Chains A and B, each alone.
Chain A
Amino acid sequence: MHSDPEAIRKSIRTYGIIGGLLLVFTAITVAVNQVHLAVPLAITVALIIAATKGSMVASVFMHLSHEKKWIYGALLLTVVFFVVLLFLPLLTVSDTIGTSLHH
């Protein structure tokens, strides 16, 4: 974390620039939606833009680009559990409890 006043003043300018870029990406998201792409492509493009915007917020506004290792460790664990959580519903496909063995 910065404590030098000049570095903080510089970071205020960075926050403004990142804010502007986030607005531009929002405009691009809406513009791409007007083009009526095929659904799989539209989902891919929209999620790539959202992920880019999300990483900008996390790295600059939330200062994740220069944090302590304890926070990175906690976030790494979160990512692992988050991915497991997203794929958990897939287990229902292989759940055969209560179904007949012979079809």
Chain B
Amino acid sequence: MEIPYTVEPRPDTGLANGKLGIWLFLASEVMLFGALFSTYILLRVGAVEWPHGELSVKLGAINTVILICSSVTMVVAWAKLKLNDFAKGRVYVLITVLLAAVFLVNKYFEYAEHLEKGEGPWHSTFFAIYYTLTGLHGLHIVGGIIVMLYLAGPGAGLWKRNPEQFANRVEYTGLYWHFVDLVWIFLFPVLYLL
């Protein structure tokens, strides 16, 4: 059985099902991270004092630059596919994966440095919310890497059968990836600078 409206838009919504689906998923993600941001505000406002300068601004800024660059490469990957250039589209997806991996390596070194000093989630309220927020964000990065590797590897066969549907899949993955970037854009000042 063929799944309808994977490429052509539904007459009632004017959208392919996947597009509306990914946006509804992102809406649920907004609520997930929103609950944690709300928790952060409550903890910070209720705290007698809040630590400042505990995290490396340099590492945080480098990771911000990495994620911004990865957002650009992801959207360019989709654009290349729309231009019928599969080879370049795949290369840009793989560059995005590489940047995501560098982000995680950076994060590993950051975590390791703090854990060595005994600054785990048990150390203070600040570190508890820091590990919760960045850990959940890191899991989203891992999820993105898995999907992008699938698209660039075993899932790439769809390009030959239905290039438009393949480009749509890259677009939806890109929407997810930009959301992950967007969350980090707020996490960086909130945790590292303020």
Which residues of A does B touch, CB under 8 Å? 2-3, 5, 8-9, 11-12, 15-16, 18-19, 22-23, 26, 29-30, 33, 39, 42-43, 46-47, 49-50, 53-54, 57-58, 61-62, 68-71, 74-75, 77-78, 81-82, 85-86, 88-89
In angstroms, Cα B67 to Cα A23, docked, is: 10
Chain B interface, number of residues (Cβ within 8 angstroms): 44
Pairwise interchain contact A68-B13, C-beta atoms closer than 8 A: yes
8 inter-chain pairs at a CB distance below 8 angstroms, sorted by A residue, are A15-B72, A16-B72, A42-B193, A57-B178, A58-B178, A68-B15, A82-B30, A86-B41
Pairwise interchain contact B69-A19, C-beta atoms closer than 8 A: yes
Pairwise interchain contact B13-A26, C-beta atoms closer than 8 A: no
Contacts of B57 in A (CB 8 A): 30, 33
Contacts of B65 in A (CB 8 A): 23, 26
Which residues of B does A touch, CB under 8 Å? 13-15, 19-20, 23-24, 27, 30-31, 34-35, 37-39, 41-42, 57, 61, 64-65, 68-69, 71-72, 74-76, 79, 82-83, 174-175, 178-179, 181-182, 185-186, 188-190, 193-194
Q: Is the interface of B mostly helix, strand, loop or mixed?
A: helix
